[in-house]
A and B are shown apart, each in its own frame.
Chain A
């Protein structure tokens, strides 16, 4: 068993742990999984919340434990860290592509000048690709999303808020 207990192996197992709210994207792609340390026969997994009050974090912790237990790894500690604070820039490019395919407009980069000035970004409709979109509400179905609609295909959609 110790032969399997490498950092890389744990990371690959944790690819199966998805965001419970957006089940196409893994905790690594989301940037919630910060680190894995293996010492002797103990595994320490470090995660960070997206939003402070996000209830999905507790479930992610449970899912991480369950996934590792399934692989026979039981000496596991999941540690939560606040610093450095999570940013949507940590969502991987692949993660952003998956969000879009799932129907959620991915966040723009925080370095985007519009984000700095507090202006609304140009958000592409994840269904039809139109840039003729408008924000309906600054808050959406979960803490991390805002509600938008497309003026071309008339469909509503979620946008991942830039944080």
Chain B
């Protein structure tokens, strides 16, 4: 694997994680538990789609085969997507959606903070921009976890259930392979150990205040980075890609 191929794969991973989570959050549009939260989730989705665009544009540039961000988003098949399974899981109830956002943000922030020091100028620029947005997102998803956990018996139960269901999907966030190994050596991407430590610190602090229990680390899901997804991703892509598949090159 060349450095160029590794960088392309890395950009796809970052782009796909953001793109798929953004789509899931967009599904809440018109269905939020209250108007303000409906707007909040689509705002979050907008930030994520912006970050996804930056990565997919750059992936296209690095690859050098004239593929645009839209080509990469709309014309790849399920097995070519390399997002983690965490982001493709269905939304569940509101506590489930917020718990997923919280776990994602708690990993995403330290990762992007570290990427600000990347030897690759474009990755550093994308990260410096994203960090500001993710800081705000983590603050609000953390606040909701505390409100749910330390709220009513019902909100506590739902938040704990969501955490228990999602926990086995967090391992994949920290998994690395030859792509990261090569790029870490070149100073382009950070080591994962400090990111994991920052994630643990955030999760432990917020869950303690929320009176929620951190689920034990047991079996962890994997496969997303290799394109082996759950059955849910195919349905998501069918909806997301329908228009470009049915009317190739359509614009408006």
Contact = CB atoms under 8 A, between A and B. Distances in A.
Nearest to B130: A52
B39 A53 contact: no
A139 B51 contact: no
B126 A82 contact: yes
Contacts of A53: 46-51, 53
Nearest to A54: B50
Interface in A21-52: 49, 51-52
A20 interface: no
A31 B210 CA distance: 39
Contact of B39 (A54, A141, A163): A141
Nearest to B129: A85
A85 B46 contact: no
Contacts of B48: 53
A147 B53 contact: no
Nearest to A118: B139
B15 to A, nearest CB: 12
A134 to B, nearest CB: 13
Contacts of B49: 53
Interface of A: 49, 51-55, 81-87, 118, 136-141, 143, 147, 161, 163
Interface of B: 36-37, 39-40, 43-44, 46-51, 53-54, 121-122, 124-126, 128-130, 132-133, 136, 139-140, 143
14 contacts: A52-B47, A52-B50, A52-B51, A52-B133, A53-B48, A53-B50, A53-B53, A81-B125, A82-B126, A85-B125, A85-B128, A138-B40, A139-B39, A139-B40
